[in-house]
């Protein structure tokens, strides 16, 4: 390739925007792809570390700066083309690596496979980061414009990939991203006015077009995932496959060896389980669609689950099912003569499967008289709903395997927080019951944490004796907690006793229970549930929770990590016993997060210090400035991510749909920050950097204080209105947040130009480290704390540069 | 290691494996002693440990993993299945309180290793495997190795094996959301059924179903290690 150019082309801004969009889309897409072929906690680790490619790029360019001088366009194009190719090729290679997440602690070879995958995924991010950083260095006087196109492109990419994943399979989306990489090279060729103009342009566009997909490629799913194992069974066939950003749904028929999904079914069940279709999400997490021909008599097995208890205490209740899925809870309600069932399901594709694709099989369950389905997020639905119910069922939504392996430890969950339960109770009729069913973990974790949460909610509501409003039972692998708006009566307790006795279930708690009544049919080594619930009703329950070896303190909206149970002080004991059966108690998601943070910190430390050390004698100018930059850039990098992540969480509670919240908030933040960057030079003529960062701090604190009330006030707005409202709320904060980086960089470019790649490396590393750190801080101290730390960091950054006269 | 084994004379290789097996048994015995406070006993059934020391685990793992056969860890055997960790195999077998004249049903043959261990302790083992390829290979292997008192079939384990019921003990190693009622009915009064619960490489808990002499059913949730969650005065 012979590249020549006419004089004076500007930076390839549209190419930058396109490749940034592709890179962010790729990041989100990788999470999706690895959640399907592996498990999402390892995906998180691999992708986080791969993003260090941004940091490595800065270091690489800092070291190769002399060589790259005068070779900008060729270097840019090579990196853009490599990005396009490597997005596809590196993923295909990575999925062929025989990594088995389940064997990591058993097999010393597994971490090596993990490193190989990380190295493969690292390549595309390294290439795209090179493109951006090269442009920064080459066009340092227009850095704010380049940064602006970078951010706006990334923002659009975040939104576009979510839309794309509704239309095509994830594998197809990967090809689109790959093609975008090549197209960005073509755009750069055009923008940089390189010659020969048309032949290369046509060639690049042609390569991109070839990559554009006609069909999906097959994903190599781990053989240990539920779907892979099911497909081994004789005569099993996939009968439907559809995908969205919410997950890959695979419907499976097994005519020879039927699915018999009935969690915790009583040993005394009289009736058989009707035919079922398996419904796998991301090739795991089995739920089912149950055949229903209108004959309720065939559903008698549903009366032999622990979740059937409330129907024995209520007469023809009006029911709200949160997390309807394939419809088992609705069938259970219909079997028990519910007067009406409102069912809430997040995933529209699940609703479509039940109502359309398999309507003949399910009896179009969601369209039956007396059943209304709402495609909505459960918490948001309740918050915006005025109706009251006799029974609110919080269904058993997660699968046992994922739940028991601690894979949800990092997932924010707003269904099981103190505030959520308070809302559920407010939506009960007098005499109404809230019912929550969970898998039983040994030793008890979920069940006790929910019990503690409900006790706290009842106390906050002014109930003097919460114990009178609670009953709890368990089967051999599920527990069901009932919370009654009024106190449970004597006849309620009689019904409870009869229900558990007939089904060989055990009572955990009812008002007045004694130790002799527990641990009869499903015996534990000690009556842990009884002991636990009794302690949680005592005034000194905080001491009990502190002393318990797992974290059973209630989750809150500020710390919405219901599934985080691990305590550091328990870890040594669990590690000693790891080869003898304690591994499932080790909370994978959390430990991997910590390991990722340590690795990212180590790598960042090296990446940031290496170029500094190598250049220590080369540039003696402005030596006093160096230590200021050393504080300034990491501080604003971390602060930006902290605020972005924390406000994504805050807006989830307003937009309610996690997917929309993440894409809308992320896009808004990036686009408005991009605009802020574009305007930064002009604004800086009127406002000092110090004033701008003080503005960021003020907005952040104001939002922390005002958003909850504002959201309560606006909660009734239609979803489509909430999206622009959210964008408008984010706009001023994000606009200001887009300025400190380009303003700082302009100082670097003026005073210490050789440090531009270094500042880029710092930004890249800070993004990775701060994303992990924000989650850890939120788990332990809450999102408000994360925001406050960010504000302090912004102020620190401003103070550091302010002390240098003539800079800001 | 693999290469070395291939070039070793047969007798020498067998001796090598026997030594590894003996080390494994010692390791498990030591593990039990070390964690006696957690397990509630300082030794497992002597007969179980003896059998563990005689059945060649290397026969039941894929050739490329034979060098790891006597490490105390689960191993993949293909088809998304695993051969359990020897420590867990020992513990589970111990929990079934087997007698020499017992008839045992196993659901989930897998490699056939657990059935082989059981067969050396009881009079007859019936084993059901859901994956046709595994059922065939395990059946052939067990026959070849001379485990004549084991019968394997490819079928749906949910319904047990009525023709040979009732059973003194049942071991269910296949995942299930509930305890299959047909298996309960095929369990003899006084019999025990064991269900390990967890993911392919990690047993989370063991559910032991006991049918009393008068037919009453109780289940016991057993942690491989008795991890007590309460601390201090609690």
Q: Do A580 and B31 touch (CB under 8 A)?
A: yes
Q: Looking at chain A from residue 402 to 431, which residues have their Cβ under 8 Å from any Cβ of chain B? A: 404-405
pLDDT confidence band for B179 (50 / 70 / 90): confident
Tell whether A118 lies on the interface with B, counting CB pairs under 8 A. Answer: no
Q: CB-CB: which of B80, B184, B227 is closest to A229?
A: B80
Q: Enumerate residues 6+ apart whose C-beta is below 8 A from A107.
A: A100, B73
Provide the mean pLDDT of chain A: 88
Mean pLDDT confidence for A750-756: 83
Q: Do B31 and A579 touch (CB under 8 A)?
A: yes
Tell whether B132 lies on the interface with A, counting CB pairs under 8 A. Answer: yes
Q: Looking at chain A from residue 175 to 234, which residues have their Cβ under 8 Å from any Cβ of chain B? A: 223-225, 228-229, 232-234
Asked if omega into A196 is within 30° of 0 (cis), the reply is yes
pLDDT at A402: 45
Element (H, E) at B25: helix B10-34
DSSP assignment letter at A355: I
pLDDT at A621: 58
Which of A220, A235, A580, A582 is the mutation pick for testing B, counting most B CBs within 10 A? A580
pLDDT confidence band for A102 (50 / 70 / 90): confident
**Predicted confidence (pLDDT) at residue A330 exceeds the cutoff of 50:** yes
Q: Which of B84, B119, B127, B139 is catalytic?
A: B84
Tell whether A610 lies on the interface with B, counting CB pairs under 8 A. Answer: no
Q: Which residue has the higher pLDDT, A421 or A101?
A: A421
DSSP letters, A55-105, are: HHHHHHHHHSHHHHTT-HHHHHHHHHHHHHHHHHHHHHHHHHS---GGGTT
Q: Do A549 and B229 touch (CB under 8 A)?
A: yes
Residues of B with Cβ-Cβ distance to A528 under 8 angstroms: 229-230
CA distance B199 to chain A (A): 6
**Predicted confidence (pLDDT) at residue B124 exceeds the cutoff of 70:** yes
Give the HSE-up count for residue A701: Cα atoms under 13 Å, Cβ half-sphere. Answer: 12
pLDDT at B7: 42
pLDDT at A289: 94
What's the pLDDT tens digit per position in A114-134?
Answer: 889 988 999 999 999 999 999
Instruction: Determine the Cα–Cα distance for residues A800 and A807; give it in Å rounded to an integer.
Output: 11
**Predicted confidence (pLDDT) at residue A357 exceeds the cutoff of 70:** yes
Tell whether B214 lies on the interface with A, counting CB pairs under 8 A. Answer: no
Nearest CA in chain A to B196: A581
Percent of chain A beyond pLDDT 70?
Answer: 93
Q: CB-CB: which of A102, A261, A547 is closest to B231?
A: A547
Q: Enumerate residues 6+ apart whose C-beta is below 8 A from A317.
A: A310, A311, A333, A336, A338, A339, A389, A390, A391, A432, A433
Mean pLDDT confidence for A747-759: 84
Mean pLDDT confidence for A748-771: 85
Contact by Cβ (8 Å): A377, A657: yes
Q: Do A265 and B154 touch (CB under 8 A)?
A: no
Tell whether A571 lies on the interface with B, counting CB pairs under 8 A. Answer: no
CA geometry: angle A352, A357, A362, nearest 5 deg: 90
Residues of B with Cβ-Cβ distance to A574 under 8 angstroms: 227
Tell whether B126 lies on the interface with A, counting CB pairs under 8 A. Answer: no
Least confident range from A214-218, A240-244, A469-473, A636-640: namely A214-218
pLDDT at B14: 65
Note if B199 is an active site residue: no
Give the HSE-up count for residue A735: Cα atoms under 13 Å, Cβ half-sphere. Answer: 11
CA geometry: angle A151, A152, A157, nearest 5 deg: 95
Least confident range from A64-68, A576-580, A693-697, A749-753: namely A576-580
Instruction: Determine the Cα–Cα distance for residues A235 and A256; give it in Å rounded to an integer.
Output: 6
**Predicted confidence (pLDDT) at residue A482 exceeds the cutoff of 70:** yes
pLDDT at A209: 74
pLDDT at A804: 59
pLDDT at A3: 40
Mean pLDDT confidence for B14-29: 87
Tell whether B130 lies on the interface with A, counting CB pairs under 8 A. Answer: yes
pLDDT at A215: 66
């Amino acid at each position: 390739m012979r590249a020549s150019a006419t004089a004076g082309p500007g930076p390839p801004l549209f190419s930058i925007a396109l490749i940034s969009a592709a890179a962010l889309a790729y990041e989100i897409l990788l999470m999706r792809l690895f959640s399907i072929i592996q498990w999402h906690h390892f995906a998180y680790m691999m992708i986080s570390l791969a993003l260090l490619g941004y940091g490595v790029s800065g270091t690489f360019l800092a070291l190769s700066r002399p060589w790259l001088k005068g070779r900008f366009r060729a270097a840019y194009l090579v990196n853009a083309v490599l990005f396009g190719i490597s997005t596809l090729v590196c993923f295909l290679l990575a999925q062929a690596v025989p990594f088995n997440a389940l064997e990591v602690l058993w097999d010393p070879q597994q971490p090596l496979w993990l490193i190989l995958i990380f190295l493969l995924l690292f390549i595309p991010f390294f290439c795209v980061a090179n493109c951006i950083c090269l442009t920064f260095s080459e066009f340092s006087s227009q850095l704010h414009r380049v940064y602006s196109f970078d951010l706006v492109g990334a923002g659009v990419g975040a939104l576009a990939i979510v839309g794309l994943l509704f239309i095509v399979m994830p594998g197809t989306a990967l090809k689109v991203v790959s093609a975008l990489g090549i197209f960005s090279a073509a755009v750069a060729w055009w923008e940089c006015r390189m010659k020969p103009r048309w032949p290369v342009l046509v060639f690049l566009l042609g390569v991109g077009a070839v990559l554009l997909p006609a069909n999906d490629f097959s994903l190599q799913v781990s053989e240990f995932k539920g779907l892979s194992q099911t497909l081994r069974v004789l005569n099993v066939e996939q009968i439907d496959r559809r995908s969205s950003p919410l997950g890959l749904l695979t419907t499976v028929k097994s005519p020879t060896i039927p699915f018999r999904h009935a969690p915790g079914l009583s040993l005394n069940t009289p009736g058989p389980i009707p035919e079922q279709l398996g419904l796998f999400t991301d090739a795991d997490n089995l739920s089912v669609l149950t055949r229903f021909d209108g004959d309720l008599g065939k559903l008698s097995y549903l009366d032999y689950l622990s979740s059937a208890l409330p129907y024995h205490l209520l007469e023809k209740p009006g029911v709200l099912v949160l997390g309807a899925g394939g419809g088992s809870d609705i069938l259970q309600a219909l079997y028990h003569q519910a007067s009406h069932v409102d069912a809430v399901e997040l995933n529209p594709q699940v609703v479509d499967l039940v109502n359309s694709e398999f309507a003949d099989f399910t009896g179009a369950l969601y369209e039956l008289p007396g059943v209304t389905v709402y495609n909505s997020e459960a918490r948001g639905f309740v918050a915006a709903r005025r109706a009251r119910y006799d029974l609110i069922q919080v269904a058993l939504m997660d699968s046992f395997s994922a739940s028991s392996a601690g894979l949800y430890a990092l997932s924010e969950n707003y269904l099981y927080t103190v505030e959520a339960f308070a809302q559920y109770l407010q939506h009960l009729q007098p005499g109404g019951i809230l019912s929550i069913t969970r898998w039983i973990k040994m030793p008890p974790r979920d069940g006790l944490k929910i019990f503690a949460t409900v006790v706290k909610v009842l106390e906050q509501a002014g109930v003097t004796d919460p114990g009178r409003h609670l009953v709890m039972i368990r089967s051999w692998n599920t527990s069901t907690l009932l919370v009654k708006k009024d106190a449970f009566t004597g006849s309620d307790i009689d019904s409870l006793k009869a229900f558990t006795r007939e089904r060989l279930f055990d009572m955990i708690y009812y008002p007045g229970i004694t130790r002799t009544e527990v641990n009869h049919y499903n015996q534990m080594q000690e009556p842990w549930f009884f002991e636990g619930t009794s302690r949680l009703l005592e005034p000194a329950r905080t001491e009990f929770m502190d002393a318990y070896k797992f974290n059973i303190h209630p989750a809150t909206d500020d710390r919405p990590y219901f599934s985080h149970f691990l305590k550091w002080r328990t870890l040594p004991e669990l590690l000693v016993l790891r080869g003898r059966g304690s591994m499932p108690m080790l909370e994978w998601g959390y430990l991997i997060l910590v390991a990722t943070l340590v690795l990212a910190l180590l790598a960042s430390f090296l990446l940031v210090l290496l170029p500094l050390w190598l250049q220590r004698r080369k540039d003696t100018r402005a030596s006093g400035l160096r230590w200021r930059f050393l504080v300034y850039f990491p501080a604003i990098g971390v602060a930006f991510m902290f605020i972005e992540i924390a406000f994504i969480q805050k807006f989830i509670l307003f937009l309610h749909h996690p997917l929309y919240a993440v894409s809308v908030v992320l896009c808004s933040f990036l686009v408005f920050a991009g605009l802020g960057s574009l305007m930064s030079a002009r604004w800086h003529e009127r406002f000092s950097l110090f004033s701008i960062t003080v503005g960021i701090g003020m907005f952040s604190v104001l939002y922390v204080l005002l958003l909850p009330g504002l959201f309560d006030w606006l909660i009734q707005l239609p979803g489509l209105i909430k999206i622009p409202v959210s964008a408008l709320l984010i706009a001023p904060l994000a606009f200001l947040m887009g300025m400190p980086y380009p303003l700082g960089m302009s100082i670097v470019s003026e005073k210490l130009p050789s440090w531009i790649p270094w500042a880029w490396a710092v930004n890249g590393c800070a993004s990775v480290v701060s994303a992990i750190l924000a989650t850890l801080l939120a788990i332990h101290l809450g999102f408000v704390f994360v925001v406050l730390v960010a504000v302090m960091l912004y102020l620190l950054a401003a103070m550091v540069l302010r002390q240098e006269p003539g800079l800001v | 290691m693999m290469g070395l084994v291939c070039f070793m004379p047969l007798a020498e290789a067998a001796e090598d494996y026997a030594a590894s097996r003996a080390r494994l048994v010692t390791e498990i015995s030591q593990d039990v002693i070390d964690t006696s406070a957690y397990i509630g006993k300082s030794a497992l059934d002597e007969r179980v440990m003896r059998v563990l020391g005689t059945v060649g685990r290397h026969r039941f793992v894929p050739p490329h993993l034979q060098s790891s056969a006597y490490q105390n860890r689960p191993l993949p055997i293909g088809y998304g299945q695993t051969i359990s960790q020897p420590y867990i195999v020992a513990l589970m077998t111990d929990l079934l309180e087997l007698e020499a004249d017992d008839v045992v049903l196993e659901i989930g043959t897998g490699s056939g290793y657990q059935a082989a261990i059981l067969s050396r302790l009881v009079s007859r083992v019936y084993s059901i495997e859901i994956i046709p390829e595994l059922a065939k290979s395990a059946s052939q292997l067990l026959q070849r190795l001379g485990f004549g008192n084991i019968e394997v079939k490819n079928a749906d384990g949910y319904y047990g094996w009525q023709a040979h019921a009732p059973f003194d003990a049942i071991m269910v190693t296949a995942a299930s959301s509930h305890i299959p009622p047909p298996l309960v009915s095929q369990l003899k009064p006084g019999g025990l059924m064991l269900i390990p619960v967890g993911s392919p490489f990690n047993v989370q808990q063991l559910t032991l179903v006991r049918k009393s002499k008068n037919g009453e059913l109780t289940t016991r949730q057993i942690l491989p290690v008795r991890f007590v969650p309460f601390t201090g005065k609690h």
